[in-house]
Amino acid sequence: MRTLLQRFENKYTPEPNSGCWLWVASGDRYGSIAKEDGRTLEAAHRVAWRLFCGAIPDGLNVLHTCDVTYCVNPRHLFLGTQADNVADMARKRRHRAHRGWPLSWQKLSSADMQTIIKADGRHREIANLFGVTRARVSQIKRAAQGR
């Protein structure tokens, strides 16, 4: 029986220009591989982290520095909270506002998103400061908390 590492190493191919290890096996938006039990699927980039870097502490995500969801190169991965993920997305202008989504997202800069995530107080008051809806503030805060 092959180990998880052996199975993993047969499912990616190095991309010489970017340094990404591109997952070529199964997966949807992210690659996936069966865990050691052979039944449960896990995101391939999370498996890469566990195999090459160690355990993933509860509450942390495995994030991509390269922004290539199929990349499993552990040098392109880092641990962070959902808030870190949202901040990274906003800083790199990958949030929905920059893909033609609703105008209320387009009004928000990366700094605005971070301020909203960290802001205390009533969501309606925060929304009024940024010219968005209370629901949008709630959505941003929930996303940052991983809910």
pTM: 0.63
pLDDT in tens, 21-43: 999 887 667 888 987 777 788 89
CB 35 within 8 A of CB 42: yes
pLDDT bin (cut points 50, 70, 90) of residue 95 is: low
Q: Is 117 helix (H, G, I), strand (E, B) or coil?
A: helix
Q: What residues have CB less than 8 Å from 105, skipping those under 6 apart?
A: 95, 96, 97, 136
Is residue 92 pLDDT above 80, yes or no?
no
What does the pLDDT read at residue 27? 65
Q: Say if residue 54 is exposed, middle or buried (CB neighbours under 10 Å; 0-12, 13-18, 19+).
A: exposed
* Range 128-133, long-range pairs (CB < 8 A, 24+ positions): 131/107, 132/104, 132/107, 132/108, 133/104
The letter for the amino acid at 21 is W
